[in-house]
Chain A
Amino acid sequence: MEKRELTCIGCPMGCLVTAEIENGEVVNVTGNTCKIGDTYAHKEITNPTRIVTSTVILEGSGKTRLPVKTATDIPKSSIFDVMEVINHARAKAPVKIGDVVIKDVCGTGVDVVATGNAS
């Protein structure tokens, strides 16, 4: 059985968790303080994901950039494809937190949404 040590990034506690792996499957997780650590370890071994945060160009506002994020986590392998799309996107004021800026980014099924308000 293979064991892998991971630092959970689910919250700032940064628990040191140990994942026991058999045939590419996580069979046991120890060291986590809460359920987030368990979920993280399973995902990190099989399909690591991250939330991507960035900015897009903002038009029609006193501000020039609008902060955005992927509404949920996306596969780690598609981060730079998503960044490429974000870098070519523009938003128009007024915008509210939660407004969709890019729909279904890179076919991930995840929207890029505004994380700031602009009028």
Chain B
Amino acid sequence: MKSYDIVIVGGGPAGLAAAVAAKKAGNDSILILERDHELGGILNQCIHNGFGLHTFKEELTGPEYASRYIDQVLELGIDYRLNTMVMDIAPDKTVTAMNREDGMFTVPAKAVILAMGCRERPRGALNIPGYRPAGIYSAGTAQRLVNIEGYMPGKEVVILGSGDIGLIMARRMTFEGAKVQCVAEIMPYSGGLKRNIVQCLNDYNIPLLLSHTVVDIKGRERVEGVTIAEVDGNMKPIPGTEKFYSCDTLMLSTGLIPENELSRSAGVAMNPVTSGPVVNESFETSIEGVFACGNVLHVHDLVDYVSEEAAKAGEHAAAYVANGREEAAEDITVTAKGGARYTVPSTVSLDRLGDLLTIRFRVGAVYKDAFVSVYLDDERVTHQKKRIIAPGEMEQVILKKEQLTSHEGLKNITVTVETE
């Protein structure tokens, strides 16, 4: 197969935005490889509204948001292959893929953009005892069944985990006539956005049981019910708090994991906290010319931020193809400390940085009336008060390039959460 300047692995929101930006930055040799039969990725099954408020200043559904980018990809004449699974990315950026028409083929590339997205944490990772009956679904699988295939997974539902997909599915199942008994969350706080608790649970009087988990699943052929117990501070079930909930369906919304098999086998350095690649300010991984963006990099709450990051990755990939890797001054490290769990990016080169540096991060616990602080070496330059900071909502700080250049000999940027 012919070679391309930029090969993008994944045609979801990240891959589409990266492709459009790379094309607009002047590159005419871009190929998107997508394993599904249509572009758009997971947005196609996210039929609810709430997408695009940042990007388009209007509230769109998932398919509508995707179509805005798909239309651009088509108008710009960017090449893409559907039903195509990428099997390997070699360190020299040769991409091996396969599909029914072409069989196995290789595409030599000058730059690769990783945009594979993420997967749901499965039941097997949760240590729930009991049989393996039918009726246990990850929330995203149930979402696909209802919204794309048109099947109802069940009539009486318990949801374990309060991630956004679980909350959205609680409402969706209610709309379709199912009874959602409750959402149980092992942590003392929700993993989803506050607005989704309000509009998906509170609106329909669906209880959210914090510090609760499923301790037993009843049923051999089909789920007949689950036992839910309260957990203590160490997440151990408290004896005597068990309560039985009748249900035919258990949905799991217990976290998303970036899908990085390809990145790992290519030798990309990974961040153990995000399970995504370590990247610099240009969204470039530890392998020169290999970029990462979207949920494969770190799991986002908002697709708008995915598109924004992906566009930068696309621009930088186009610049890399055009100019090669420019000699740059030594990288500044970005460190997460005291409450902040990680940062994206992990390093910054002032020579490659644009006018602004956006650092995104998540916290490990709920903080009330706390401060997000940024230190340039030992000097505190940001001290921003927040009413609430929660693990379920990604935070960001934006620094001006002048701030960084005016701090002579800057070696480290630290992002931290302080109580005063």
Binding site for B on A (CB under 8 A): 6-9, 11-12, 14, 16, 50-55, 57, 63-65, 67, 69, 76, 79, 83, 87, 97, 115-117
Contacts and interface: CB of A to CB of B under 8 A. Distances in A.
B50 A12 contact: yes
A64 B380 CA distance: 56
Nearest to A70: B49
A54 B195 contact: no
A7 B198 contact: yes
16 contacts: A6-B198, A11-B50, A11-B195, A14-B195, A14-B393, A50-B203, A52-B175, A54-B175, A55-B47, A64-B148, A64-B150, A65-B150, A67-B47, A67-B147, A83-B175, A87-B176
B98 interface: no
Nearest to A55: B147
Nearest to A14: B194
B53 interface: yes
B418 interface: no
B33 to A, nearest CB: 21
A16 B387 contact: yes
B193 A14 contact: yes
B47 A7 contact: no
Given A12-B301, A51-B59, A52-B175, A117 B67 contact: yes
A76 B60 CA distance: 19
Contact of B197 (A7, A64, A65, A116): A7
Contacts of A53: 47-49, 61
B150 A54 contact: no
A87 B146 CA distance: 12
B199 interface: yes
Contacts of B50: 11-12
Contacts of A64: 148-150
Interface residues of B, number: 31
A63 B49 CA distance: 21
A51 B58 CA distance: 13
A63 B148 CA distance: 8
B63 interface: yes
Contact of A54 (B47, B194, B387): B47
Contacts of B146: 55
B61 A12 contact: no
Nearest to A58: B150
A9 B199 contact: yes
Q: Which 4 A-B pairs have the closest CB atoms?
A: A14-B194, A67-B47, A116-B63, A9-B195
B195 A8 contact: yes
Contact of A97 (B53, B64, B148): B64
A72 to B, nearest CB: 10
B302 interface: yes
A12 B302 contact: yes
Contacts of A87: 176
Given A14-B194, A52-B175, A53-B48, A76 B302 contact: no
Interface in B162-194: 175-176, 193-194
A43 to B, nearest CB: 13
Contact of A76 (B67, B150, B203): B203
A50 B301 contact: no
Contacts of A79: 175
A99 to B, nearest CB: 12
Contacts of B49: 51, 53, 69
Contacts of B387: 16
Interface string B56-82: 000111011001000000000000000
Contacts of A51: 49, 59
Contacts of B148: 63-65
B195 A7 contact: yes
Nearest to A8: B195
Given A12-B53, A50-B203, A76-B203, 13 more contacts: A8-B195, A9-B199, A14-B193, A53-B49, A55-B147, A57-B150, A64-B149, A67-B61, A69-B49, A115-B64, A116-B47, A116-B64, A117-B63
A107 B194 CA distance: 32
Contacts of B48: 53
B57 to A, nearest CB: 10
Contacts of A9: 195, 198-199
Contacts of B175: 52, 54, 79, 83
Nearest to A48: B203
A55 B144 CA distance: 12
B167 to A, nearest CB: 12
A76 B205 CA distance: 13
A21 B263 CA distance: 55
A7 B149 CA distance: 33
Nearest to B48: A53
Contacts of A12: 50, 53, 193, 195, 301-302, 393
A14 B405 CA distance: 35
Contacts of A76: 203
Contact of B147 (A7, A57, A65): A65
